[in-house]
């Protein structure tokens, strides 16, 4: 039986995360973060059906936004503005089906890179401190409901966030 994740992403044959880098201190830490992101995605995908794993892996596409001149120390509002421009630049076909990468993005800032500096990139569910990233809703905070428009997400919950996004069509 196919996993729900497989059934959702097979239509587009593409899935992934939009990741904004806002800190440009040690390049090694950024490289380590991208490796951790890839490794943790892969470790979660391996829990899917064996016939699904190669396809899911082949469909993965992360978009890394690393324009230092425009993104260094950018605020969530500035990142949302950039994200909306990126979305507008997608083809009509890419925008025709809403996927989690169309309504949320990840932010890797100095705090995120500082935490991963001295830890192994391999998945370890018992480690402390737990590496994390910020997930930001493209529409921002909603003062009326108290919704902050962003949340800190442990790296180990990365795929859970994506799968929840598939089910809810929102962050």
Assigned CATH topology for domain 15-168: Rossmann fold (3.40.50)
Per-residue pLDDT tens digits of the chain, which is 171 residues long? 457 778 788 877 888 899 999 999 889 999 999 998 888 888 877 777 788 888 888 888 899 999 999 999 999 999 999 999 999 998 888 877 778 788 889 999 999 999 888 887 776 767 677 888 899 988 887 767 777 888 998 888 888 888 887 777 665
Contact 4, 165 (CB under 8 A): no
- 64 membership: H or E segment, kind and range: strand 63-65
Instruction: Give 3's contacts (C-beta < 8 A, 6+ positions apart).
Output: 48, 49, 52
């Amino acid at each position: 039986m196919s996993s729900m994740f497989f059934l959702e992403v097979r239509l587009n044959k593409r899935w992934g995360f939009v990741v904004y880098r806002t800190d440009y201190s040690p390049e090694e830490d950024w490289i380590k973060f991208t490796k951790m992101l890839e490794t943790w995605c892969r470790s979660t995908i391996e829990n899917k059906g064996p016939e699904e794993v190669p396809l899911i892996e082949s469909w993965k596409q992360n978009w890394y936004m690393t324009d230092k001149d425009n993104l260094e120390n950018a605020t969530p509002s500035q990142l949302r503005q950039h994200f909306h421009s990126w979305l507008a630049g997608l083809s009509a076909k890419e925008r025709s089906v809403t996927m989690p990468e169309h309504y949320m993005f990840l932010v890797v800032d100095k705090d995120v890179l500082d935490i991963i500096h001295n830890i192994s990139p391999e998945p370890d569910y018992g480690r402390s401190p737990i590496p994390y990233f910020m997930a930001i809703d493209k529409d921002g905070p909603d003062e009326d409901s108290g919704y902050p428009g962003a949340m800190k997400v442990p790296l180990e919950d990365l795929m859970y966030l994506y799968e929840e996004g598939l089910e809810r069509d929102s962050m």
